[in-house]
Amino acid sequence: MPSAPAPRAVRLVWPAWGWIATAAALITLSLVAWFAYQRGELRGGLDRGALARERRELESKVALLTDENANLNTKLAELEMARQLDRDAYSQVERTIGELQSQLSRQGDDLAFYRSIVSPADGIQGLRIHRFEVHPGGDAREYRLELILVQAMRHESLASGLVQITLHGLRSGNPAQLTVGELLGRPRAQLPFSFRYFQTVEQNVTLPADFEPVDVEVQVRSGKLRSPLQQTFPWKPAPPAPA
């Protein structure tokens, strides 16, 4: 009886059109995903071009202030020498030096502020408290609380949240504390913020006649923070602005 023929190996061949269809499908999926990502960013308010322009503006301000500070320091050195050489013009030189020193101090503050946003000295990015100040109001017991918050280095998204400000001091001689909400008659109220680079949070308050503040505790809560930012400042109202 003749033996059965050995089975032949069968090789499956994927048609060329199959490879083409698969490649086309992958390309289509990639394009759909990319357009969806871009659409999502636009819906979220993220404009990379605008962010880049804003950052360049901040960096330009830093460079400009740095140059102006250098020029002011040069003028100050020249006037110091003039004061030594020309005693007759001493009073005029003194006034000019005072004005330049004041201008230099203000620009130094501005430079430090913008640098804290673009490239902070400690290299730490994210939300931070830049400054807290107390300013006298129109009445004897009225004050304006001013808090400046900044977001350092990363500005792709908004920083938002709530600020709780608590005044610690003495009330009728006994230790006491009052939140801004309590001073406003809304005990649970807090101050909201939302910004990309920096924001000044302001609130006017009127203190009870029997309450004397000693220091101020500032607590900042945000979804970007693992734990709240907390810092205490002495109660030190700024001198009234000259009339």
Name the residue type at position 51.
L
Question: Torsion over CA of 217, 223, 227 and 229, rounded to 10 degrees?
Answer: -30
Domain locations in the chain?
A: 48-118, 126-234
Fold classification of 126-234 is: Immunoglobulin-like (2.60.40)
Query: Could you tell me which of 200, 224, 196, 198 has the C-alpha nearest to residue 51?
Result: 196
Q: Which two tokens stand for residue 4?
A: 């059965």
Q: Could you read off the pLDDT tens digit of each residue along the chain, which spans 243 residues?
A: 455 455 554 444 445 444 454 545 555 555 555 555 555 555 555 567 777 888 888 888 788 888 888 888 888 888 777 776 666 566 777 788 788 888 888 888 888 888 888 888 888 888 999 999 999 988 889 999 999 999 988 778 899 999 999 999 999 999 999 999 999 999 999 999 999 999 999 999 999 999 999 999 999 999 888 899 999 999 999 887 655
- pTM of the predicted model over 0.85: no
Question: What is the pLDDT at residue 201?
Answer: 96
* Alpha carbon distance 23, 25 (integer Å): 5
